Amino acid sequence: MQRIIITFILSFLFTLSIRSQTTIHREAKKYYQNAVQLIEKKNFENGQLNTAVENLLKAYEIDPTYGNISFYLGMAYYYLTDYYTADKYFLKYRSLVEQMHPDYYLYEGIVKYKLTDNTAAQEHLQYFLNTMAADKDRFKDSMARRGLQLSKQSQTLMSKILPSKKEPYSAINTIEYDEYYPILSSDRKKIIYNRLETDSTTGKPINRIYIYFIEGDTIGPNPRLLPLNNIENREFIITSMHTNGKRILLISKDNKGLYDIYESEWMVREFTAPLKMYSQINSYADEKFATYGHNDSLIYVVSNRPGGYGGYDIWKINYNSRYINESMINLGPTINTEYNENYIATVNNSNLLFFASEGHLNIGESDIFKTRLEYGQYTRPVNLGYPINTTGNENTFFPYPSANMGLSTLKSTSWDITITYLPPKAKSPAYIMEEQYLEDAKLLKSTVIIPKDE
């Protein structure tokens, strides 16, 4: 009899527990519903995502046993790219419910990948793809397949770690502002970079260009604003400097929000007003980056103009094409993919080219790759490896010529400029991995190449 009573009590408590998981507390409901509407619409402008998190945390404080609150908290922190917190709430959600929402496997799989737990990532994403959930939304299906591919590639590449490290360039970085797109002058005495500041007059964010003298500035503060005769009062972002130090390439948005490429020249005491470059370089599309290349004989451009392979591609043109009426040339499918290529950097007196891509053998969504221009052809791109590339987005890498280091941009709380130290035996960044397509064209084989001097 006593055993029957105990069994009945446990059964009753279990029923209450299940009920508490499937029925939300009345006081938590209004916070929860408001947050869910914001998240499901995926319209996160004007701080709406932060508002959703605030409401979900209030609901969670009232009723932590209602599993869906934890699920949407995981989703919200996923969209905020706070993957550690997202993982915490997804794990809480899993502990509270018996039947998981299909999207749980998709988003937790991506979160696990971002946290470099590649085994768990593959399990979650593969399960999502094997269920009917993957057929209901092609966008989610492509997210899962892309995430699964990256996770498998990441697992391979991260197993081949070379002795390198990153550290912030403390003389340049600020706590409150973003610093990005570092450019090293050819004499290696100064770094020019962009900083997104708050304008003291308007209170709005504005990009300013700074110069930092590595061995110290005897004229003024170090770093200091780069003189730029900006007669149009436009907002410019510097992307490259000529080897003579007297010309720079910049980008600026037009009234449609698309970038165009400008050039400025040093005259007497400051750079002249930037002039929009000729029509062969600027199209009706978005030219979002440009750099001088291969001893300033070329200009490389990142553009989504027609005729590419998908997204943003890398194009090139002879620097003096304005006089000989040449057209832009796409670097071709060896370099460009159906995804985005985002950035280019070259080394003086070298045939090396560094670029960012989302579509090659990646560790993260965007990695830094290296290729060579040999006999007019580009060699197959090589991933610079972990920890230079991570599961985050690596979008820039400016190498020191004939040195085992480079400048990159890394996001922690804000975008900062970092200095990356590479294997000491390699004067330039070493080859890490080489892509080799197998006969069925569906698989990739990874081969380690021993680091060597360039």
Contact present, 225 and 210 (Cβ < 8 Å)? yes
pLDDT at 324: 61
pLDDT of res. 430: 37
Note the pLDDT of residue 425.
44
pLDDT value of residue 370: 85
Mean pLDDT of the chain: 81
Distances (CA, A) of 24 to 29, 67, 69, 248, 382: 6, 9, 9, 60, 52
Q: Which residues pair with 302 in a beta bridge?
A: 289, 314
Mean pLDDT, to the nearest integer, of 239-268? Answer: 92
Q: What percent of the chain is predicted at pLDDT more than 70?
A: 84
- Within 13 A of 20's CA, how many CA atoms are on the CB side? 12
- Condensed to tens digits (0 to 9), the pLDDT of residues 182-228 reads 998 888 889 999 999 988 888 888 899 999 998 887 777 889 888 88
The pLDDT of residue 404 is 63
Q: pLDDT grade, residue 423 (50/70/90)?
A: low
Sequence ranges of the chain with CATH classification 1.25.40.10: 14-158
Question: pLDDT tens-digit profile of 285-326?
Answer: 999 999 998 878 889 999 999 999 989 999 999 887 666 667
Q: In which residue are the tokens 């070329």 written? A: 298
Residue ranges, comma separated, of all CATH 2.120.10.30 domains in the chain are 165-448
Q: Does residue 33 carry a pLDDT above 80?
A: yes
Report how far Cα 80 is from the mean position of its chain's Cα atoms: 14
pLDDT at position 18, please?
40
Encoding tokens for residue 263? 């050039």
Q: CATH topology for 14-158?
A: 1.25.40
What pLDDT is stored for residue 439 in this prediction? Answer: 33
Q: What is the pLDDT of residue 234?
A: 84
Alpha-carbon torsion, ordered 378, 309, 340, 437, to 10 deg: -60
Domain 165-448 fold is: Neuraminidase (2.120.10)
Q: Which pLDDT score is estimated for 452?
A: 40
